Chains A and B, each alone.
Chain A
Amino acid sequence: MRFPKAKPASPATRALQVVPPSGPTAWLSSFTAAAMTFLCVFALALSLASGRLATRWSEALARTATIRLSAPTEQVQLQTDAILAVLQTTPGIASFRALDDNETRALLEPWFGPDLPIEALPIPRLFEVVEGVPPYDSEGLRQRLTAEAPGAVLDDHTRWRRPLAEAAERLRLLGVLSIALIGATMAAMVSLAARAALATNAEVIRVLRLVGAKDSYIARAFVRRFTLRALIGSGIGAVAGMAGVAVLPATDAAGGFLTGLGFSGTGWLWPLALPPLAALVAFAATRRAAFQKLKELT
């Protein structure tokens, strides 16, 4: 790397110059950083999406519960009153109401058509319960209902909500773990590349030590180089990754999990944090490798 003569090189630039250019292999570390960041963008998208999913599932379903009453005809009104009385006196319930016949009919319409003689059928009565803050104790409510209205069944959706939320949470953990692994892998690769560069330039380092260069000066030449390469590579990887996520099919169309992979709103800022982070990782890894290696040389 030679600079035009007219411009006097700054000390920092000259520090870079004292180590000979490393040729085409130099860009392998940039490529690694680019590839790792690209993967990291997807891991990030996965984490954020599953995080959103977990929250959505937990929140939306946790807020409401349903009480279903199936009782002999003569008991229905009696138990309805009992249920309403229980709900009235249970703390932690924001609101509740019994669904009337029209609503029940509307719910059943898709299956039985509009002309269902609902009065003639032993259709269970439904009650919608909206959770308050703090929420009610569902086990306690269940027991009281059993005592007061034997035909009532409380369904607070935990049965199928919990495994889903747990799965989403696990998925997010997996995403975070992937990001950590990708970061560690990049640190390892940069370390290896830096060590190789230091070994290749052992003679140069010996000369520099001979003329009075401190370790920090020599390390700086290598650290700057690898940090810059990681930053550039990672920048390219981040842009490519974001473009990849952006062209995934839209979330709303299918609403499924796979198409939900992506960033929303400020989530798009996360991938932008990756290049500086990669540079930081490269900086630390190279610095560590350089000082270790320099200690071996006098």
Chain B
Amino acid sequence: MISFENVAYSYGGGELLSDVSLKLAPGSFHFLTGPSGAGKSTFLKLAYAELRPTTGKVTLFDRDVTSLSRDDVARARRRIGIVHQDCKFLDHLSLAANMALPFTVSDRESAPQDMDDLLGWVGLKHLADAMPPQLSGGERQRAALARAVIVDPDVILADEPTGNVDWEMSLRILTLLVELNKMGKTILVATHDLNLIRQAKAQIQARVLRIAKHRVQLAGADL
């Protein structure tokens, strides 16, 4: 799916990530953890080709990211569901229209049935016509998750999906992610919430990647 080979990324001055080599195998569930500013978001951005590696090679669906044109990147992103901490909705469109956005931009008709099911799945059926600014943090996160999965992506990348919500809602979002993983999706969740990781490990075979000293390492079972 997505693989990193000796990848380094540096901003102007210092190196943020270096010598990162790993593979996200199909159907795997990974957590990415580390202190704030360690490079979790950067790692995710490298994974969805928002950023290109300074050195090394990132492969997206068997293609080198540096060889992708802007349209190729757009096509690749239709196979990747991205959930941001701040969700990024279009505030002038209703929740339903926002969720259908990945369909809209690829000039495909969205199936209303899927939409209803999906809204029901994330528990937002009654808010289909609401505008994004009217939603609570938890509702927004669940909506973002629904938008990420509407085109049936192979991979879901979530950046602090539980950053703005309480524990109960975190668990609910985690449950949705676990369900998606059981349906065969590859999942990568960046979070600094260790409790969430422990909770997940009780339910599913999840691996934990930790960013420390600019490197991404596979953490042991010692959480």
Contact = CB atoms under 8 A, between A and B. Distances in A.
A217 B92 contact: no
B218 interface: no
Interface string A183-217: 00000000000000000000110111111111111
A273 B109 CA distance: 37
Interface size class of B (residues with CB under 8 A): 20 to 34
Nearest to B94: A2
Contact of B88 (A207, A215, A294): A207
A11 B91 CA distance: 20
A18 B88 contact: no
Interface stretch (B97-105, B134-142, B190-198): B97-105
Contacts of A206: 88
B93 interface: yes
A135 interface: no
A195 B128 CA distance: 33
A298 interface: yes
B147 interface: yes
A18 B105 contact: yes
B50 A21 contact: no
A212 B90 contact: no
B91 to A, nearest CB: 8
Interface in B169-190: none
Nearest to A213: B105
Interface string A133-151: 0000000000000000000
B77 A212 contact: yes
Interface string A17-35: 1101100000000000000
B178 to A, nearest CB: 23
B70 A215 contact: yes
B92 A20 contact: yes
A14 interface: yes
Contacts of A207: 88-90, 101
Given A298-B50, A298-B51, A212 B106 contact: yes
A11 B70 CA distance: 21
Interface size class of A (residues with CB under 8 A): 20 to 34
A contact patch SS = helix
B92 A212 contact: no
Contacts of A214: 70-71, 74-75, 105
A41 B90 CA distance: 42
Contact of A18 (B50, B51, B75, B101): B101
B70 A211 contact: no
B82 interface: yes
A196 to B, nearest CB: 18
Interface string A104-127: 000000000000000000000000
Nearest to A218: B105
A210 B75 contact: no
Given A210-B84, A211-B102, 13 more contacts: A14-B104, A17-B93, A20-B91, A21-B92, A204-B90, A210-B82, A211-B82, A211-B101, A214-B75, A214-B105, A215-B74, A294-B70, A298-B51
12 contacts: A11-B104, A18-B93, A18-B101, A20-B91, A207-B88, A207-B90, A211-B77, A212-B77, A212-B151, A213-B74, A214-B74, A216-B71
